[in-house]
Structure 1
Amino acid sequence: MRSVFTIIICVLLQTPTLNSDIYCDSENETCTRDISGEKFIFYDVNPPEGFNLRRDVYMRFAIMLAEAKRNGRKRNWHLVLPPWHNLYHWKNDKSDPIPWSSFFDTVLLKSYTSVVELHEVFSNIQELKIDRLYVLQNYPNAFENGDFTEKWKVADTCNNYERSFWGYKNISVKEEICINFQGKISQLWDVIALHPADKHVMFSHGEIPLHDTYGTKTYWDCRRSMVFNKQLIEKSEQYISKYLNCHTKLCSNYLSVHWRRQDFAQYRKNKVPSIAGTARQIDKAIKNFNSYIYKVYVATDAPFSVLRQLETELTYYGYTVFYYLPSDDDIETFKDGGLAIIDQIICSHAAYFIGTHESTFTYRIQEEREILGFYSTTTFNRFCPDKGQCEKPSKWTIVH
């Protein structure tokens, strides 16, 4: 049986110089906006956090604003989408900031709540001064007296915070205030109320506030608005049609896996399987689900030598293995974040999916599959260690 080998090579590209195709020019009347009287919330995320966790942080802020507007409040507030810049796990896309439109359909994002790209804010101003930067930090003891209590207070001391402002040099801060914070994100409105006249407020460490309602209809309404842009969807569907011979949204002829290695294999050895164990689990899943499937699509961060070993094991069981190998044009066009999204889309359409426990990359695939309408039994599956206990994955099913 002939194997098809394609592999995502995490080669991060040099982001192109800022230009009018992506960023608005203040002299271009078609992209300017009147921002008088409008107010803006900015946020950033702890630098080591990855692309898929940042997507979840966005949802927390978007839902916070959408719910306030739904209740007739904060009508003149907007959420500024922080550009993708200098992510730790990206290797070359670390020069210019990348807008959200490079990865998502921003028209649909804006249909959910009032969000703007940072370059839109700069469409008619040359310098941005943040009125108040609130540096969020965790309480030293989250479970004081054994209870997790929602609270916040202005802190006496402040952790070191490096202001990067996504690579922009024309952003400054008038005042910085450190906040010990614990609890749901809607409490940030109380923080903002400390200075009600502010028009530009920013929160660092946006990952610290929690969802108000995780997994509810409100959550899924926001999640459904996070649609990938047309170019990424088309590229993924072309691959699925050409190599996996599927021409529908709900494919039935291939199994997909997200096989997280690298840091997981190094630091979580007791939670992930060996290469041989991975192949055995894939084979068992296919035989239990549909023994007529012989195609396996693998999304992974494993080095090529490790992938070849897994391919050898799966070939022994009679499977044809597929990976996505981006062309030079793909790398230039889609960048690191887009290449990962293509992997996720291809995994999302498979008849059956196996993910890596506690990986946000896996979580996002599971959400996509819930939106597509796959049975949950084909979605919430994980790789288990070769020996020992294997905790069942949580099932966060869609709510309509």
Structure 2
Amino acid sequence: MSFDVRAAFHRVRDSLSAIVQIVAAAIAAYAFAHVLLGHENPFLSVTVCISSLSLARDARPRRVLDTALGITFGVVLANISLLVVGRGMWQLVLVLGLVVLMARFVHRSPGFAVSAGIQASLVQLIPIASGSEIQRPIDAVVGGAMALTATAIVPRDARRLAKSDERALVQQLGGGIRLIEAALHHGDADRAERALEHLRATDRMLSDWNTSLESAKAIATISPFLRQHLKDIERQREVRVALDYSVRNARVVARRVWQLLAEEESPRPQLARTFEEIAIGIGELEAAVDDPDALVQARQSLTLAIVRLHPASHDIEYDVQDATVLMQCRPLLVDLLTAAGLTVEEARERLPDVDQEPI
């Protein structure tokens, strides 16, 4: 497997705000425990802070809190076990098993139990100066509290990651439509099948985008610095729903085109032209991720594509199979226009009346 340098740079770019947040919070947690509380080696304040924030896509305060509580839970139980059974191999087995079992009992998140188990192991395996055991739960609380504080005061701008997710999804959708266009232009059923597979690969992208938007909303709700972006985040959530529907409808169309070409592998250039115009509109939706003004052009291009959905525009009014493809494009274009800023009602009004001749 070759190393993708471009993807690596994108990962670093998308993680920059998270890295800054983690470093700032970890140093602050260490300084608080070491300088203000006088703890000689408060490594737990740093590890708890880093583990709670992490580089996970889901940066919601609730997840940060759950992780911090899980870690603190493990530290407290392990500290109690040191007083009761001491330190050693069999003690480690006993404590680790007990902590993970109890963590699973009190919280449904697997991450909570894993965090508790890791920190319980550290407490059991790393001895510190006598009389300092009580400091470790305090350090864990400091680390968790600093992680939550950083979420509000040094927030990650999850909107950037959400926009990256949106861009990736629109690119994938546009690529699928282009494959449908090529399949129809060449009468190639294999390309139509690849288009369907291409569009099916969007499930993970939609899930990632949803997670990013949920994180962005949760962070903006508690952060005084990002609260003004709540309306923009809500708009992105609406766009995500519209594009989710668009992808689903594009799969239906791709499946129908595949079946059509599997029965008769003959070029259909007029149908291909329709998908070319749809792809142009999707390309402008991609541009609108960074430039909202491009939405106007996207709406215009998608409206022009809608005109071609009337079978008479293709001279195929008597070809039921081709006309069926055009009919299945109608909900696709309604959803794309909704993603471009129209209401569902406004988008439907632009659909051609199949009972009338096209203008």
TM-score normalised to structure 1 length: 0.21
Structure whose residues are more often strand by fraction: 1
TM-score normalised to structure 2 length: 0.22
Structure possessing the higher radius of gyration over alpha carbons: 2
Structure whose residues are more often helix by fraction: 2
